[in-house]
Amino acid sequence: MSVLTLILAGGAGSRLSILGEKRAKPAVPFGGKYRIIDFPLSNAVNSDLYRIAVLTQYRPHSLMQHIGIGEPWDLNRRWPNGVQMWQPYRGRKDQDWYRGTADALYQNRNFIAEAGC
């Protein structure tokens, strides 16, 4: 099956108050050793979806560090070089960031096409 799974993980987490102040919402710890991003990643892998791209935006560093190449989900031996992290093109204006779901897909249309889906 040739399915590309896109996980939108760019949220600022403003409703999480102090928890989302210094990291993206998907990178917020949950239950001690887990992060919120672990749930959609595990769901994808348990559904036999191994071609995964995570679209990040707001303070992605701790999220990218946590995911790495996807080794905890056995993604490091899958579609090229594990899970991929896609970020918006950051130009001279804040308008270059994703303005919503449709814009995130639009900005990554070339990557989606190259994935062969």
Domain edges within the chain? 4-114
pLDDT at 105 over 90: no
12-65: per-residue pLDDT in tens? 666 666 665 677 788 888 888 888 889 999 999 899 888 889 998 877 788 888
Percent over 70 (pLDDT), the chain: 78
**According to CATH, what is the number of the domain 4-114?**
3.90.550.10
Q: Tell me if 67 sits within 8 A of 37, measured CB to CB.
A: yes
Whole-number pLDDT of residue 58 = 77
Q: Tell me if 72 sits within 8 A of 93, measured CB to CB.
A: no
CA dihedral for 108, 111, 115, 117, sign (positive or negative):
positive
* Burial (0-12, 13-18, 19+ Cβ within 10 Å), 13: buried
pLDDT at 1 over 60: no
| Side chain identity at residue 38, one-letter code | D
